[in-house]
Structure 1
């Protein structure tokens, strides 16, 4: 390696250490020696394979912590949710509420289970819920639904891509029959065509009933995909089931205006007296904070504007058996504060990508079902209500955290609740 001139290295910690720099060639080389760790993979979940995996792991950690008596008594229930199973992780669950929701689908006072290891989180959402309930409840409205999968096709030229598109637009009814032959609950809602040079992206959008539906739409679109390959009058050079237009597990600007999962708006008008009582600040201060932070979000390149949707989403998703990775797309949206003519606070949130279900996935696992039961939202016919609860919860969190910043309580709350005190 060339000799390192430390006088020229100012901003890279790695290369400011000459001794560490000298180790780079050998440290980063491929290593082809056989691993000393040999686990026992298996597609299914059997007691035999579980025991064999723990033969490797038991010297590394306390088996009884991950494979406690409850988990061992219910391990067979996890068979459709995980591979190479070794146990469960216990996450603390708190409850916030009651949160009064006046929605088209969610209309009740809800106690909301939240799973988190972040101190102050449940307390913050509980404070927002108390404020909302004191103000008569939050209005919620599910606006749109749809989950998509987006295959992509490549052709030799733009001309042939255009011929392919002219055929695709005549096939909607056939595609719908093909898709719906794979599911009792999914319905093909729409097809959108995006032509980019000699590439064609097809957006298949579905209604998925009370399931979150990601596996459902993947299986349905896979069958359409192969129908297209078999019957298209123009053969693609390359084709892939996903072309990255779906927004699956990633923040994206497109769905800010459309939908992925369920799109919900929620709003409330809160008297200034209640803002002062519960948050220790004023509507005027919260509106000013919102305006300045909107500019800050634009400067940072944020998709949408919100304070911390991800906190509510991750805690609720984990507690209630949702796909936690979907927080990536669910946590975009718009929070807005305004003053009304009386000087009271108008607050609203719009979340276009709430990915939740009340059947399937992890919703039937023992502790996750228990959390949905607290909400009264496990099973068929409950997914739309759950989406409205999610939006209401996010609004509660926005009110609480913005109020904390405006009253200069944010740091104090975390210092009080998140710092352990030792005798």
Structure 2
């Protein structure tokens, strides 16, 4: 029976220790010992670290981490950790990379490491005049921003440029200042937010207006990761497969309903690497989908063409605000291990690897859709999940999964019946 919660107001919950919170939660919600033990078992993240990472910490949610093999990027072989709960994601990247490996793999590049912080100015009667007043203060702005983070300056980063726009809104005209900041190997949110908050009072003083929002933009279009790859037609199954994939892309390019799922498939790979390395999945996802709409309608993050030789060429370009320093990338032991496995030297290199994974993921999804359909491969891998959900253990998992695939019915009700037969019940 579902337990009815009388009130979610728990005074001082954040002041308790982790074990005390688990005990209190178990008492209120009548959790059994198994549930309480699951919360207490934090796996490879200690309770102490977890308790300092988020508020009201009570446990962890363990996500499987797999390794994408066959990845050759810019002439270098790379093993890529991916954290995901979805069947077939890691396998899809491995298969796409394998089919491109002998032709050189992926070529990548990066537009830069610059992030944007926005300062919103309102209540100005002369917004165009105010815009120029701010632009004239560029060197003063540089000094204020750079003074916020001497370490970033020492590492070669810091304030780079200034943009000021006047936009019309339902609240009237607003003057929006963009601080362009090179954040080097950090994702950069904390650095640019600090600069925006420090600068805002000066902008208000210079213009006679009032500043409100002072925060970064996750549309990191000055931090674009790019990857390209050519798959030889004979390596992917022939011209019919190639042409089917091109038509799948044209569908996504033209229709936002298809593009949403097309790009979701890309993000299956992208978000898995972002998560495995302790970076901000929500920031990357927000930037990706905003970038996909930059031309006034939502479209594909990838582009696909046929080369003069008749091969299939794929390209991806998307914002990629990731870092190697700060946040969970340094705190979470699994994130640190993932970065060691990747063996990369900079945040830009990480972003380029992630872009290559996104392109590989898109290749596999389009190929499956244009040939056998997405369910055949996905459900073959998902059959193991269904087998375990039905209660299979040990060798039974593989045995039952094969039976489900052979019968073409990867469903829990079928799995339960077949498991009973397998056990002679």
Counterpart contact for 2:227–2:359, Cα < 8 Å: yes
Structure 1 residue 35 displacement after superposition? 2.7
Q: TM-score of the superposition, structure 2-length normalised? A: 0.77
| Separation in structure 1 between the aligned mates of residue 367 and residue 378 of structure 2, nearest angstrom | 14
1:382 aligns with 2:346: yes
Structure 1 residue 34 displacement after superposition? 8.2
Q: TM-score of the superposition, structure 1-length normalised? A: 0.77
1:1-37 deviations in Å (ceiling 9; x for gaps): xxxxxxxxxxxxxxxxxxxxxxxxxxxxxxxx98365
Give the aligned partner of residue 282 of structure 1. 241
Change over 3 Å in CA distance of 1:58–1:227 after alignment to 2: same
| Separation in structure 1 between the aligned mates of residue 142 and residue 63 of structure 2, nearest angstrom | 42
Residue pairs, 1:198-217, within 5 angstroms = 198-217=173-192
| Separation in structure 2 between the aligned mates of residue 218 and residue 316 of structure 1, nearest angstrom | 25
Paired residue for 2:271, among 304, 314, 317?
A: 314
| Separation in structure 2 between the aligned mates of residue 235 and residue 66 of structure 1, nearest angstrom | 53
Structure 1 residue 267 displacement after superposition? 1.2
**Residue aligned with 1:112, SS:** strand
Change over 3 Å in CA distance of 1:301–1:220 after alignment to 2: farther
Give the aligned partner of residue 38 of structure 2. 65
| Separation in structure 1 between the aligned mates of residue 260 and residue 42 of structure 2, nearest angstrom | 44
Paired residue for 1:96, among 62, 65, 68?
A: 68
Give the aligned partner of residue 270 of structure 1. 231
1:177 aligns with 2:151: no
Structure 1 residue 164 displacement after superposition? 2.2
Counterpart contact for 2:99–2:235, Cα < 8 Å: yes
| Separation in structure 1 between the aligned mates of residue 11 and residue 76 of structure 2, nearest angstrom | 48
Counterpart contact for 1:40–1:84, Cα < 8 Å: no
**Residue aligned with 1:77, SS:** helix
Give the aligned partner of residue 8 of structure 1. none
| Separation in structure 2 between the aligned mates of residue 272 and residue 301 of structure 1, nearest angstrom | 25
| Separation in structure 1 between the aligned mates of residue 186 and residue 50 of structure 2, nearest angstrom | 18
Structure 1 residue 304 displacement after superposition? 12
Give the aligned partner of residue 393 of structure 2. none
**Residue aligned with 1:363, SS:** helix
| Separation in structure 2 between the aligned mates of residue 69 and residue 176 of structure 1, nearest angstrom | 44
Counterpart contact for 1:145–1:259, Cα < 8 Å: no
Counterpart contact for 1:98–1:112, Cα < 8 Å: no
Change over 3 Å in CA distance of 1:372–1:177 after alignment to 2: same
Change over 3 Å in CA distance of 1:84–1:283 after alignment to 2: same
**Residue aligned with 2:329, SS:** coil
Change over 3 Å in CA distance of 1:70–1:116 after alignment to 2: closer
Change over 3 Å in CA distance of 1:84–1:137 after alignment to 2: same
- Structure (1 or 2) with the greater helix fraction: 2
1:379-418 deviations in Å (ceiling 9; x for gaps): xx42010011011101111111111111123121122122
Give the aligned partner of residue 133 of structure 1. 101
| Separation in structure 1 between the aligned mates of residue 217 and residue 8 of structure 2, nearest angstrom | 39
| Separation in structure 2 between the aligned mates of residue 139 and residue 187 of structure 1, nearest angstrom | 29
Structure 1 residue 305 displacement after superposition? 7.4
Q: What number of residue pairs does the alignment pair up?
A: 358
Counterpart contact for 1:149–1:221, Cα < 8 Å: yes
1:346 aligns with 2:313: yes
| Separation in structure 2 between the aligned mates of residue 99 and residue 58 of structure 1, nearest angstrom | 45
Give the aligned partner of residue 11 of structure 1. none
| Separation in structure 1 between the aligned mates of residue 11 and residue 333 of structure 2, nearest angstrom | 27
Which runs of 5 or more residues in structure 1 are unaligned?
1-32, 249-254
Counterpart contact for 1:322–1:363, Cα < 8 Å: yes
